[in-house]
Structure 1
Amino acid sequence: MADKLERYRSRRDASRTPEPVPAEPPEPRGGDAYVIQEHHARSLHWDLRLERDGVLASWAIPKGLPADPAVNHLAVHTEDHPMEYLTFQGEIPQGEYGGGTMTVWDTGTYETEKWSDREVKVVLHGSRASGRFVLFRTDDKNWMIHRMDPPARDPFPPLEPMLPVERVRPPRAEADYAYEFAWGGRRLLVPVDGGRTDAARDHPWLRPLAASLGSRSVVLDGEVVTLAGAEVLVCYDLLYDDGRSLVAEPYTARRSALEALDLSAARWQTAPSWPGQAAPVRRAAREQGLPGVVAKRLDSPYEPGPSRAWLLIPSPARRPPRG
């Protein structure tokens, strides 16, 4: 009987990688376990592995499982992996095959509805992934994966920003608003899906931000500003998070979800926000040479286009010194 792990072993040196490298051929057995691993290798992708005849049949899926049956994702058939890989996660050294960080994204069991050389139809039962999927072969090793169930998430919202309306003075009901700096940068909505973002076409430095979010799908709202000579994305709103549209949620809920992402790096950060503190934020904006502050109603949904729920209050002009 052919050793199903021969190709797997030929690509790995057990003395150099922490991956399991069994010395003996696998024993055929029945089983229904699966694992999906998030793999930050040369390019981010997800590895789907299904237990089959004592090994894990494997596909590398660059954009992860499709959430919408209207969109199929590429699935590259790779070598069978040993059963020990069901729980493997760790750092594969750079220079080795598959070098990079691998973590377990989901695990569970599956049901087989069909399994042939050209088509694999399964039902996944996991903590993060669930539903019916079919993998179908398109050429030698390239397959596609299709979701057979209804969409698992809300569609992305229209990418049109909410705009503040200018006003000379802060609102009287100051406690009903949060106050943020008006940065004076270039407005940018950043959709992220499958660890990638279209915004990277014009801003390639945003690719690591998208990759850092892994399989999390988001739409960030912010501005590109220049700080210390480098372009930085300052994020101040979140329109979409992990499959759920937030545009109908109040500002406070969107702000909490944004802060939970913990966006903090050299090229991107979460803008500070101060509820009910108009005067000190205006003073700080003026001292830092910023154009003003934006007052945002705490209970306001996200309304594309100009909205009176967001008020741009310019910094007062500096008075010339006396004498």
Structure 2
Amino acid sequence: MADKLERYRKKRDPSRTPEPVPETPAEDRGGAAFVIQEHHARSLHWDLRLERDGVLASWAVPKGLPADPGTNHLAVHTEDHPMEYLTFHGEIPKGEYGGGTMTVWDTGTYETEKWSDREVKFVLHGRRASGRFVLFRTRGENWMIHRMDAPVRDPFPDVRPMLPAERARPPKDAAAYAFEFAWGGRRLLVAVDGGRTTAAREHPWLRPLAESFGSRTAVLDGEVVTLGGAEILVCYDLLYDEGRSLVDEPFTGRRAALEALELAGTRWQTAPSWPGEAGPVRRAAREQGLPGVVAKRLDSRYEPGTSRSWLFIPS
């Protein structure tokens, strides 16, 4: 009988990597477990592994599982992995095969609908991943993965930025607004999907931000400003999160969702926001040499273009 783990062992030195390197494959128990691992290696990807004949048949999926049937994702067939990999997580040393951080993104069981050398149809039953998928071979080790069912998922919002109307003085009903600094930077909407963002084409320093989202989908609204000689993304709104559009949510709901992301890095941060604090925020903006403040109605939805729900008040 062929050794299904021969390729796996040849690629790894058990004295250098914490990965399991068993001498022989496990006995086939006829199980149907799966694991998806988030792998921050040379490039971020997800490893899909399906139990089959005592090993884990494996595919590297650069953008993760497709969220809807309208998009297929590349899935590169890799060597079979040992059953012990179902629970493996940790740091594979730099310079070793697959070097980088690996975490368990999801695990569970699956049902096989078809399994051949060119096509694998299956149904996942996990906490984060569920539904019907098919893997189909295209060329060599390159396969594609297609979602066969349609989950409830809002489309990415295709909107123009919401802009404040200018006003000389703060609104009298200050308690109905949140007050933020007007940064005077360049507006930027950042769509993140599959750990990547097209905004990184112009701003490569945003790649680590996108990777930090893992498989989470999001659309951030903010500005690129220069602080301390470096460009920084200051985020102040969230328009889309985990398959759900937030543009019709009130500002307070969007703000709470943004703060829950806990965005804090050397090149990105969440902009501070102070409900009802018109005077102190305006004075602080003036002292810091900022153009002014933006007052945002707490109950306002996100409206593309200029809106009276957001007010720019000069310093």
Tell me the TM-score range normalised by the shorter chain.
over 0.9
Q: Does 1:199 align with 2:199?
A: yes
Q: Is the 8 A contact 2:134 2:145 kept in 1?
A: yes
Q: Name 1:217's counterpart in structure 2.
A: 217
SS at match of 1:78: strand
Measured in 1, the distance between the counterparts of 2:173 and 2:13 equals: 67
Q: Name 1:190's counterpart in structure 2.
A: 190
SS at match of 1:196: coil
Q: Name 2:72's counterpart in structure 1.
A: 72
Measured in 2, the distance between the counterparts of 1:12 and 1:285 equals: 56
SS at match of 2:37: strand
Measured in 2, the distance between the counterparts of 1:152 and 1:101 equals: 31
Measured in 2, the distance between the counterparts of 1:307 and 1:278 equals: 19
With normalisation by structure 1, the TM-score equals 0.97
Q: Name 1:108's counterpart in structure 2.
A: 108
1:152, distance to aligned residue in structure 2 (A): 4.3
1:166, distance to aligned residue in structure 2 (A): 0.3
Superposed CA deviations along residues 68-100 of structure 1, whole A, max 9, x for unmatched, are 101000000000000000000000000000000
**How many residues of Structure 1 are paired with residues of Structure 2 in the alignment?**
315
Measured in 1, the distance between the counterparts of 2:67 and 2:38 equals: 16
Aligned amino acid, residue 282 of structure 1:
R
Q: Which runs of 5+ in 1 are unaligned?
A: 316-323
* 1:169-180 pair list within 5 angstroms: 169-180=169-180
Q: Name 1:122's counterpart in structure 2.
A: 122
Measured in 2, the distance between the counterparts of 1:92 and 1:118 equals: 31
Q: Name 2:90's counterpart in structure 1.
A: 90
Q: Name 2:53's counterpart in structure 1.
A: 53
Q: Name 1:320's counterpart in structure 2.
A: none
Q: Name 2:165's counterpart in structure 1.
A: 165
Measured in 2, the distance between the counterparts of 1:243 and 1:192 equals: 12
Q: Name 1:40's counterpart in structure 2.
A: 40
With normalisation by structure 2, the TM-score equals 0.99
Q: Name 1:281's counterpart in structure 2.
A: 281
Q: Does 1:259 align with 2:256?
A: no
Measured in 2, the distance between the counterparts of 1:190 and 1:159 equals: 12
Task: Give identity over the alignment, percent.
Answer: 83
Measured in 1, the distance between the counterparts of 2:72 and 2:121 equals: 14
Aligned amino acid, residue 128 of structure 1:
R
Q: Which runs of 5+ in 2 are unaligned?
A: none
* 1:230-309 pair list within 5 angstroms: 230-309=230-309
Aligned amino acid, residue 39 of structure 1:
H
Measured in 2, the distance between the counterparts of 1:56 and 1:184 equals: 53
Q: Name 2:26's counterpart in structure 1.
A: 26
Q: Is the 8 A contact 1:49 1:58 kept in 2?
A: yes
Measured in 1, the distance between the counterparts of 2:261 and 2:90 equals: 23
Measured in 1, the distance between the counterparts of 2:271 and 2:89 equals: 34
SS at match of 1:195: coil
- Comparing 149-158 with 39-48, which one deviates more in the overlay? 149-158
1:103, distance to aligned residue in structure 2 (A): 0.3
Q: Name 2:137's counterpart in structure 1.
A: 137
Cα RMSD of the aligned pairs, angstroms, is 0.7
Superposed CA deviations along residues 9-32 of structure 1, whole A, max 9, x for unmatched, are 000011111101001233233111
1:159, distance to aligned residue in structure 2 (A): 3.4
Q: Name 2:314's counterpart in structure 1.
A: 314
User: Aligned pair in 2 of structure 1 residues 40, 21: CA closer, same or farther (>3 Å)?
Assistant: same
Aligned amino acid, residue 305 of structure 2:
G
Q: Is the 8 A contact 2:25 2:82 kept in 1?
A: no
Measured in 2, the distance between the counterparts of 1:108 and 1:30 equals: 15
Superposed CA deviations along residues 292-321 of structure 1, whole A, max 9, x for unmatched, are 000000011111111111000001xxxxxx
Measured in 2, the distance between the counterparts of 1:159 and 1:306 equals: 13
Superposed CA deviations along residues 221-258 of structure 1, whole A, max 9, x for unmatched, are 00000000000000000000111110011101100110
SS at match of 2:17: coil
Q: Is the 8 A contact 1:3 1:26 kept in 2?
A: no
Aligned amino acid, residue 178 of structure 2:
A
Aligned amino acid, residue 172 of structure 1:
K
Aligned amino acid, residue 166 of structure 1:
E
Measured in 1, the distance between the counterparts of 2:65 and 2:221 equals: 25
